Amino acid sequence: IAVSGGTLVRDTAVMLGAAVVLVPFFALGDLGRVAGGLMFAALIGYLVFAYRQSRSEPASSTDLPEAVSNVWLSIVWVVAGLAMLMVGAHYLVEGAVTIARTFGVSEAFIGLTIVAVGTSLPELATSLIAALKKQSEIAIGNIIGSNIFNILGILGLTAVVSPIPVADRFLMFDLPVMIAVSIGLTLMLRRPQIGRIPGIIMLVLYAGYVWAAQ
């Protein structure tokens, strides 16, 4: 995957910052409404900043497809997709809890593996298609943006609705791993491209993480 410019490096730095911000919140043992509100506000600020930056940057001829789809049809597909996602999320959570209880593993482990992989499949499909079409900024930006939104948006908004107790393992193991991965990705994006060997290494490291997380 070709890496183009400092925009992705900037966004990866935001992703790293979002992960680091979780350290003091997790250390309290509880992600409360105030913390969640601050995180969600940070997401809004980031989106506004990113939008203004993108408006000031010249658009590439490959940024958008030549044919523009019907806007209203696209809106219908988005709404329908969101509705199906909500239904699917309900059954995904129920199924994950059942699996955890059946095999005697923690719900945290199921959330970090099966649920995480399941909810990441849309990002995987999007990035694969974008990479095959040589749309490297979409391929990488999709992943970075999803991580930022998951941390600041989903986690923040969830905490606003209902405070989240934080188990020690997240602070002592999972969060440091996420921060280390964010640092590694930031460094990789300073290179002209991410090749197959780094990709294989990342997959091996993820397999090692899953094994260690049991």
- Residue 132 maps to a domain: yes
Contact 9, 142 (CB under 8 A): no
Predicted confidence at residue 132, as pLDDT, reads 83
Contact 170, 108 (CB under 8 A): yes
- Residue 165 maps to a domain: yes
Residue 129: domain span: 6-57+73-212
- State the sign of the Cα–Cα–Cα–Cα dihedral 21, 183, 124, 54: positive
- What is the tally of structural domains in the chain? 1
The reported pTM is 0.75
pLDDT single digits (tens) 189-213: 877 788 888 889 999 998 898 888 8
Predicted confidence at residue 194, as pLDDT, reads 82
pLDDT single digits (tens) 137-178: 788 888 888 899 999 999 999 999 999 999 888 999 999 999
- Residue 195 maps to a domain: yes
CA angle 203, 206, 212 (to 5 degrees): 145
Q: Give how far Cα 90 sits from Cα of 16, 97, 190, Å.
A: 30, 11, 39
- Residue 182 maps to a domain: yes
The CATH number of residue 85's host domain is: 1.20.1420.30
- Residue 66 maps to a domain: no
